[in-house]
A and B are shown apart, each in its own frame.
Chain A
Amino acid sequence: MLYGLSTSLSKSAPKVHAKLTTRILLTVLLLAVFAISVGAAPAREVILATTTSTADTGLLDVLIPIFQEKTGYMVKTIAVGTGQALALGSRGEADVLLCHAPASELELVKNGDVIERKLVMHNDFIIVGPASDPAKVRGLKSAAEAFSRISGTQSVFVSRGDDSGTHKKEKAVWTKLGTAPSGKWYVEAGAGMGRTLSIASEKDGYTLTDRGTYLAFQKNLALDILVEGDAILLNIYHVMQVNPAKFAKVNGAGGLAFAEFMVSPEVQEIISTFGVDKYGDPLFFPDAGKNVDDLGK
């Protein structure tokens, strides 16, 4: 085709050159327009930034279709570490957040980045490790004591190392203990919970995990639950809407609709039974309307 064009215009070379450039530019433009039309953003979309733990357990796969059906919004779930989810929220790059790092979330509330923060559910963190348990932590009631024995015996500990909610919780335990872990035994994975569990299993190491992801992965792991039940190990999820008064580009109505949906009786009922069929126990406990301080009592 280009060849034909060139023959017909071969009498004036500079003109041909200009035509060629125009033609290439036009083609590129057309392709770009096509590319954009392929993915034109629907007007009613809600960007949900959430933690990998809610997505990896499959809970959102159950809830999101119901929400979309009910409200007509199209939800884009971006599953990242809590650190990144909160960062997206504080820059107005998401409409609603579902996270499990209460202390960091409160900072966003204080700065006016998010509003309508509501308690949704909780489960708990557990310390898992190899059955041989070289640091002798099995059955301890205190997470800090377990961490102290792990670092004391220089047993392998695999940390998320990704500023996620789980990683923040782990750091809170080290802080309570008054030490900063370092050394060859302390492995920073920089990965999601599932991958971190796999690494711990391969390395015969300990790690701190949320119970839900552990249950989902259990069949592929050589790790036992060694420590559970310490109050510091509660894993609490809140939903919050990114403040449309601060960020004009945020979908305020959609964010609010999702936040209210998460604490509605219907969703709370689904949460209370989610996972029972597969693991025998629920993965999360619904908490809408409760006071955070009463959890775990």
Chain B
Amino acid sequence: MDLIAEGISKAFWLLVKGDRDVFQIALLTLRVSGLATLISLAIGVPLGTALALGRFRGRSAAASIVNTGMGLPPVVVGLWVSIMLWRYGPLGSLRLMYTPAAMVIAQTIIALPIITGLTMSGIGQLDPGIHVQLLSLGATRLQLVWLLVREARLAVLAAVIAGFGRVISEIGASMMVGGNVVGHTRVLTTATSMEVSRGNFGEAIALSLILLCITLTITSCLTRLQQKGGSTQS
């Protein structure tokens, strides 16, 4: 019990005093996971739409791959990204190992299938009549995609929430490709794990509470946006 109280009071004071290290760690967490989510969104929404609407060979195989990718274990992603980015790996000359960029790449690989898959099922659930109706009204391909995504925005926002939630909470990939380097690649999850392994359970609880607060704030903003979208739609 005293551990929990110690953790909560530590978290409170860290936030109130605006501890610089913790602030930096929290900011990096947001930057890395936010960027990974944005990139996944930019690729995943068009890709998910294409998979939902497209009529091409290999579409169902591609859809299966995306659905499998939604459960990609972060450590597996971390291992493969490490192998690619190591100095003597195929992409070693980019010098990205142990940088925030490497973490963005790994987290994008984790979030992309989630956002693609949920977009795919969201668009797929729309009334197929809309598709034909829009085309008969003379919509171009691009307009069609845009309008369908707008129509399925509840599902697309759910995809963003799921993707962001997954990457901000993952540790395996960030630890492996980032290395938890202080002031450089240390994010909230890796810092929490490190404090636990140092026996500083109070600090660990404090960091975990800060992570929960950030996730809660962002998710509730997105949820509000989603529900607002839902009410104007009906």
Contact = CB atoms under 8 A, between A and B. Distances in A.
Interface of A: 2-3, 5-7, 9-10, 13, 16-17, 19-20, 24, 27-28, 31-32, 34-36, 38-41, 47, 52, 55-56, 58, 61, 64, 74, 76-79, 91-93, 192-195, 216-217, 219-220, 247, 249-250
Nearest to A24: B46
B141 A16 contact: yes
Nearest to B35: A35
Contacts of B94: 36
A193 B198 CA distance: 9
Given A78-B181, A93-B88, A249-B87, A39 B102 contact: yes
Interface of B: 31, 35, 38-39, 42-43, 46, 86-88, 92, 94-105, 140-143, 145-146, 179-182, 184-185, 194, 196-199, 201
Q: A interface, by DSSP: helix, strand, loop or mixed?
A: helix
A28 B87 contact: no
Nearest to A94: B87
A130 to B, nearest CB: 18
Given A31-B38, A78-B179, A16 B201 contact: no
A36 B201 CA distance: 34
B199 A217 contact: yes
Contacts of A77: 179, 181-182
Contact of A249 (B88, B142, B198): B88
Q: B interface, by DSSP: helix, strand, loop or mixed?
A: helix
Nearest to B199: A217
B142 A2 contact: yes
B179 A76 contact: yes
Given A28-B42, A36-B101, 6 more contacts: A13-B141, A19-B142, A20-B145, A31-B39, A92-B88, A192-B197
A227 to B, nearest CB: 22
A194 B88 contact: no
Given A17-B142, A40-B99, A216-B198, A93 B181 contact: no
Contacts of A2: 142, 146
Nearest to A68: B183
Given A2-B146, A192-B197, A216-B199, A41 B99 contact: yes
A6 B140 contact: yes
A284 B102 CA distance: 35
A91 B86 contact: yes
A35 B146 contact: no
B113 to A, nearest CB: 16
B7 to A, nearest CB: 13
A5 B143 CA distance: 9
B142 A16 contact: yes
Given A3-B143, A35-B35, A56-B197, A76 B42 contact: no
9 contacts: A17-B141, A19-B142, A35-B101, A39-B96, A39-B100, A41-B95, A192-B197, A195-B197, A249-B92
